[in-house]
Chains A and B, each alone.
Chain A
Amino acid sequence: MKMRERLARLDYVQRSRAFKVIASVIVGVLAIGAFLAYSVAINAPSSAAITLDDVSPPAQVTPGGAGADADGNPASAEGSRADPAANLPQATTLSATAKLVNEVLSAKQDASGVGATIAISAAFALGIIWLGLGLTALALGAVAAAVVWPLSLFPSTRGPALMVGGVVVLAGCFSVLMRLLAMLFSLPGATFAIAKNVLAEAVRMKISLVFIVLLIFGLAALPAILDPEQPLRYRVQSFLQYATAGSFWIVAVLVLTFAVASVCFEQRDKVIWQTMTKPVRHWQYVLGKWIGISGLALALMAVCGSAIFIFTEYLRDQKASGESAPYVSENQKGVSDDRVVLETQVLVARRTAAAEPPEVDEEQFGKNVDARVEAELEMISQLDDDTVEIRDQKIQEIKQKVAEGLRSSVQSQYRSIEPGAREDYLFTGLKGVRDTNRPLFLRYKVDAGSNAPDSIYTLTFQFPNDYPFTETIGLGQFNTIRLLPGVVDADGNVAVRIINGNFRTGEANAETIMFPPGALEISYPAGSYRMNFLRVMAVLWVKLAFLAMLAIAAATFLSFPVACLVSFVTFLSAEGSRFILSSLEMYATEDRDGKMLLIPTIIAKVAQGVAGTFQIYGDLRPTARLVDGQLLPWSSVFMATTVLALATFALFLAAWAIFRKRELAMYSGA
């Protein structure tokens, strides 16, 4: 009998009611026995250390007992006491037992706490058993004991031991979740039958199993690549970035590939005939596939998310830069900067307010635009040959272009400060922060020239009713200034003046500095990191559910390679929509003479249409927000869920309509 068949038989046994009952009884007996034994031990009358003599039979026995004579007089002490010399193995065992009992008694453990621990462990074990994973859990535990424990004994192999242990735990959690899902999908109906079949297919087909194994091993190995010399905040951010993004992308590729394969291969191999000649409606088939694949994605993201969260919390409790021990700075005063940044800007959910550009005098702006247009018209002679309508149209186009250019210039000018000059910035919408009495953070990044890595610039900051102060910074990287809530005025505004130079020495910096878009903002904690993490995972799963329906819809009428191509192109377009839209601002569709270029114009239009379609999807940026400690509010989650749910439903209707019309006995693919 092959291993697979054996495993299938064992799986059948562990899911049988008889096994579950017997195993439950065993677990119950062990739990009760453990608790009783502990209760007896802690309720022993003497609190002194137990000696070997104490565990031997007592010298005096009750009347009528074995050691008493007919009158009830006790037997002699010598006769009734165990002879250590004669019973050496017994003495050794007894001494070990005495030592163990003493350790337990001296631990000052509360009986109720131990009882709760035993109860929880027993409940957990019973849950595993009744999920039909009793033998699986035993096997994983045996693997862990056989492999992890020996490796953990040596410092050089502790890393691999942790990795193997991580793999075992992740695999176990995944098995439990999949079994829970399978139980949930045991509800009556063809839809759930198909969904449950998808789960079985996912863990037995190589095309999906490869990704699952890659994900579990990759996640378990990720901590090993973190540089222990890096500041803790960077380690945490690196781990969050790679783990969250990596998990999402691997699961996304798995979802797309597996969804397409599941539907396409059934049609190609005619397996679908056996299903669709049963009383199964077309929408039930499509919906069942989607539920199964979304369930798989949920299980994987739950496992990955839990692992990422747990390890992040573990990292959080490590020593940060400038600390002698976790949360203890080297100078014994306060906490280190690394710890502060970690706790206030990374492992937090911050809301941000960007600097508002000054209001433009529209009248003056209009005059400036007209003046520029006049200047341009003088340089263009060919308009004289055009008709009045065409001439007016071209003038309007020139005017629009000039206006856009001018506004862009105003923005850039606002963000730029010449050497020695100053600029005032206003941040609004911060009224709620004032009352929370929590610090704010001015977060900024400065570009100047080519952002030479060895360039050091000194900037001066001044807030209302406060002394100015300087900050010496490098170029091209984010810096943070902690602010007290008092900087927020009664209207909820924060005003700051920034000088491009050192006000004390009067020295100006060498070049004009510029704050790129999104690089000058005030942020404040608006929620907990943990809830933010949960929202991020929820949004990631909603995206995966959308991708699943996209792949299924493509697979209902396209062959496997074409459906994969369509699905992946759509996925990449959605993920890159922000980048595409920002790139289009730089993309030239006209030559130097202002003449429209056909191909670039078409490309731009198509790209704009595609990126615009997925703008909401692209603007979510859940991973980036998590890594930067930015808040992903519930409103964004609900909006994203609603929009993606509508898109998913639209794809479902399309898939159903196409699938209904298909003649399944005809296969048009390779």
Chain B
Amino acid sequence: MTPITSAPFASAALPIPTTPTTVPAARTGDPVVVVQQVNRTFKDFWMRDVARAVNSLSFEIYPREVFGLLGPNGSGKSTTIKMMLGLLKPTSGRISVFGKEPTDVAVKKRIGYLPEESYMYGFLNARETLDYYAKLFEIDSRTRARRIDELLDMIGLTGAQFRPVREYSKGMQRRIGIAQALINDPDFLILDEPTTGLDPIGTRQVKELIIQLGKRGKTVLLSSHLLADVEDCVDRLVILYGGQKRAEGACDDLLVSRDRTSIETDLLDEGTVAEVDRVIRARSGGEQAILKVSKPRQSLEALFLDIVERAKAEQVATSGATSGGETAAFLQGAPKEGEALIADLLTVRETNVPAALVPSAASQPAAAPPANGPDTSVITDLLSARGPDEGSEYRPGSSAPPSAPSSMSSPTPANGAPEVRPPAVDDSVIGSLLDSPDRPAGERP
């Protein structure tokens, strides 16, 4: 397949749907975390200011969203997280978690935390480690035993569960760290650099787990500087630099290219490519043209996973951690039926929509179609099949959450193309879910 990247349409006549008319369900309810004008300054022994790690930071995390906290090293990500957990106190400003102080013990019952490094008791083995942390949550013994078995299986450490943690590799320690963060089935999961030290399989599993938890209605805060990992998982993100917020918004809003169109086709010969270029030039009056023609590459991750899967199929021996099993049953939640299932499906996010149906310029404001514009019925049809749009206009430095659009109207194509469907319903997704309930996780654009 050959991707075609062309310059944007000059008059922006394409009837692209506006931002959704209703507030996405993921952002209803009180925020899980509120960070208001928080500052954190580190002082030396003589109480002199040494470093300002966080500077007037404000953002909110809403229920049931996967929130990304990005930034380079030293940008204040971990400091912000530690303040959320009560390990540090803000110099000024206010932080609340579930409406309470971060140091409130009741709040901590609902939180799972994976620090940037796995700080474990080296003298305990994996089972004992999970048992200890489970006891801190006052989980009864039967539930504890069951969850420990499931988690050890999920992270692939069942075979090494009796080895002291200090003998684990970094990746294995990371896995046990993830397990202890999940032992209490938390409502709010904080993951600080979760994929550090993990091999690509583990990284993939963590990402799938995050997505699955997000689907289950958990709130996840993901902090990382590995952008590829974050991009696949998060709904909304904040980018920090020097302790300050530099950008905030939905992932798609921030990442989508507004001045390019990418089309992927089967393999084309040079003549066909030239013909397409000619059509584009003709339609745009010479102002637009094909900018680049290239062959898509399989990602290194996909290649790696393929090789490993084949090795597993051949049952090649390994002494390290095995690939984990299924997500622990208690983390998957009880299967929903009837009304509850339909209600869930009606509020499914746009990220569940197959990539082919997601336009690359989803958040562009609607523009009036040109009077004598080209026939855009095909593209319009494609775009109208897209689900509800969570994103909003990109507003750098904005601390307010993305608000619902003021206009409730849907764009009407000039050529009488079918009206855009209400964004809340996506029959294709509903159909596929009802037909095969066990959709594979991680199917995101």
Interface residues of A (CB under 8 A from B): 2, 4-5, 8-9, 12, 188-190, 192-193, 196-197, 200-201, 204-205, 269-271, 273-281, 663-666
| Closest residue on chain A to residue B134 by CB atoms | A193
Known A188-B135, A273-B119; 15 more pairs at CB < 8 Å: A2-B163, A5-B162, A9-B162, A196-B132, A197-B132, A204-B164, A270-B119, A271-B119, A274-B119, A276-B86, A277-B86, A278-B108, A279-B108, A279-B137, A280-B136
Check B180 against A274 for contact (C-beta < 8 Å).
yes
| Shortest CB distance A661–B (Å) | 9
Q: Which of A189, A197, A269, A277 contacts B138 (CB 8 A)?
A: A189
Give A12 to B145 CA distance when docked, in angstroms.
13
Q: B residues within 8 A CB of A5?
A: 162-163
Contact with A along B128-170 (1 / 0, CB 8 A): 1000110111100000000000000000000000111001000
CA distance A193 to B120 in the complex (A): 15
- Whole-angstrom distance between the Cβ of B53 and the nearest chain A Cβ: 11
Least CB distance from B339 to A in Å reads 34
Show 12 A/B contacts (Cβ-Cβ < 8 Å), sorted by A.
Answer: A8-B162, A9-B162, A189-B138, A197-B121, A200-B128, A204-B164, A270-B117, A273-B119, A274-B113, A281-B105, A665-B82, A665-B87
Residues from chain A with a CB closer than 8 A to the CB of B113 are: 273-274, 277
A269 and B109: CB pair below 8 A? no
When C-beta atoms are compared, the residue in chain B nearest to A666 turns out to be: B88
- Interface: B89 (CB within 8 A): yes
Which residues of the partner chain A approach B86 to less than 8 Å between Cβ atoms?
Answer: 276-277
Q: Any chain A CB within 8 A of the CB of B210? A: no
Cβ-defined contact, A8 with B125, below 8 A: yes
Q: Is B89's CB under 8 angstroms from A663's CB?
A: yes
Give the complex CA separation of A545 and B357 in angstroms: 69
**Distance, CA A665 to CA B83, complexed state (A):** 9
- Are B136 and A279 in touch, CB under 8 angstroms? yes
Complex contact B123–A201 (CB within 8 A): yes
The reply to whether B120 and A204 form a contact with Cβ atoms under 8 Å apart is no
Contact residues of B between 69 and 87, Cβ < 8 Å to A: 82, 85-87
Q: Does B182 contact A (CB under 8 A)?
A: no
The reply to whether B88 and A4 form a contact with Cβ atoms under 8 Å apart is no
B interface, CB within 8 angstroms of A: 42, 82, 85-89, 105-106, 108-109, 111, 113, 115, 117, 119-121, 123-125, 127-128, 132-133, 135-138, 162-164, 167, 180
- Which residues of chain A come closer than 8 Å to B82, judged between CB atoms? 665
Chain A residues, Cβ within 8 Å of B135:
188, 190, 192-193
B136-A275 in contact (CB<8A): yes
- Across chains A and B, which 6 residue pairs bring their CB atoms closest together, nearest first? A193-B135, A665-B87, A8-B162, A204-B123, A278-B136, A270-B119
Decide: A273 near B105, CB < 8 A? Known: A9-B162, A188-B138: no
Cα-based distance from A664 to B83 in the complex (angstroms): 11
What residue of chain A has the Cβ atom nearest to residue B115's Cβ? A273
The docked-state distance in angstroms from the alpha carbon of A278 to that of B135 is: 10
B43 shortest CB reach to chain A, Å = 10
Q: Quick one: which of A196, A200, A274 contacts B123, CB cutoff 8 A? A: A200
Is B85 a contact of A274 with CB atoms below 8 Å? Answer: no
Report how far A270 CA is from B177 CA in the complex, Å.
Answer: 13
Q: How many angstroms between the C-alpha atoms of A9 and B138 in the bound complex?
A: 25
Contacts of B133 in A (CB 8 A): 274, 278
The answer to whether B164 and A277 have CB atoms under 8 Å apart is no
CB distance from B340 to the nearest CB of A (A): 29
Q: Which residues of the other chain, A, contact B115 by a CB distance below 8 angstroms?
A: 270, 273-274
A-chain residues with CB within 8 Å of residue B132 when the two chains form the complex: 193, 196-197
Chain A residues whose CB sits within 8 angstroms of the CB of B119 once the complex forms: 269-271, 273-274
Which residue of chain A has its CB nearest to the CB of B127?
A12
- Chain B residue at minimal CB-CB distance from A664: B87
Nearest chain B residue, comparing its CB with the CB of A201: B123
> A residues within 8 A CB of B162?
5, 8-9, 12
Do A278 and B137 contact each other (CB < 8 Å), given the known contacts A201-B121, A271-B119?
A: yes
User: Which residue of B87, B105, B120, B123 is within 8 Å of A205 (Cβ)?
Assistant: B123
User: Within the complex, what minimum Cβ distance (angstroms) separates A513 from chain B?
Assistant: 62
Q: Is B164 within 8 A of A4, CB to CB?
A: yes
* B contact residues around A192 at 8 Å (CB): 135
CB closest residue in chain A, given B114: A274
| Closest residue of A by beta carbon distance from B183 | A278
Kindly state the separation between the CA atoms of A511 and B345 in the bound complex, as whole angstroms. Answer: 109
Q: How far is the CA of A276 from the CA of B123 in the complex (A)?
A: 19
Closest B-chain residue to A662, C-beta based?
Answer: B87
Task: Identify which of B88, B111, B124, B164 contacts A663 (C-beta below 8 A).
Answer: B88
Q: Tell me the complex Cα distance, A9–B128, Å.
A: 12
Contact A279 B109 (CB under 8 A): yes
CB contacts (< 8 Å) of A271 on chain B: these are 119-121
Q: How distant is the Cα of A565 from the Cα of B60 in the complex, in angstroms? A: 47
Closest to A272 in B: B119
Give Cα A276–Cα B107 distance, bound, in whole angstroms: 12
Complex CA gap A519/B117 in Å reads 65
Q: Looking at the assembled complex, report how far the CB atom of B177 sits from the nearest CB atom of chain A, in whole angstroms.
A: 8
Residues of B near A666 (CB, < 8 A) are 42, 88
Q: B128 — which chain A residues lie within 8 A by C-beta? A: 200
What CA separation (Å) do A132 and B275 show in the bound complex?
80
Measured between alpha carbons, how far is A274 from B133 in the docked complex, in Å?
8
Q: In the docked arrangement, what's the CA distance between A190 and B132, Å? A: 9
Q: Is the CB of B88 within 8 A of A665?
A: yes
Complex CA–CA separation, A275 to B121 (angstroms)? 10
State the CA gap A188–B124 with chains docked (Å). Answer: 20
Instruction: For A190, list chain B residues within 8 Å (CB).
Output: 135-136, 138
> Nearest CB to that of B43 among chain A residues?
A666
**CB closest chain-B residue, reference A270:** B119
CB distance from B241 to the nearest CB of A (A): 21
What CA separation (Å) do A666 and B82 show in the bound complex?
10
Do A274 and B88 form a contact, CB below 8 Å, given A8-B162, A193-B132?
no
B residues in contact with A663, CB < 8 Å: 87-89
Q: When the two chains form their complex, are residues A280 and B123 in contact, meaning their CB atoms are under 8 A apart? A: no
Q: How far is the CA of A665 from the CA of B115 in the complex (A)?
A: 11
**Bound Cα distance from A433 to B121, whole angstroms:** 60
Smallest CB-CB separation from B107: which chain A residue? A279
A196 to B87, CA, bound (A): 24
Q: How distant is B98 from chain A, measured CB to nearest CB, in Å? A: 13
Question: CA separation between A510 and B108, bound complex, in Å?
Answer: 82
Contact of A280 with B105 at beta-carbon distance under 8 Å, contacts A12-B162, A273-B87 already known: yes
Closest chain A CB from B237 CB (angstroms):
23
Q: State in angstroms the CA–CA spacing of A664 and B117 once bound together.
A: 15
Q: Using Cβ atoms and an 8 Å threshold, which residues of chain B touch A276?
A: 86-87
Chain B's nearest CB lies how many Å from the CB of A16?
A: 11
Instruction: Give every chain B residue within 8 A of A196 (Cβ-Cβ).
Output: 132
Closest-CB distance, A373 to chain B (whole angstroms) = 55
Q: How far is it, in angstroms, between the C-alpha of A2 and the C-alpha of B163 when the chains are bound?
A: 8
Cα of A665 to Cα of B89 in the assembled complex, Å: 10
Cα–Cα, bound, A190→B121 (Å): 16
Given contacts A9-B162, A664-B87, contact A193 B105 (CB under 8 A): no
Minimum C-beta distance from B158 to chain A (A): 12
Chain B residues with CB below 8 A from A277, complex form: 85-87, 108, 111, 113
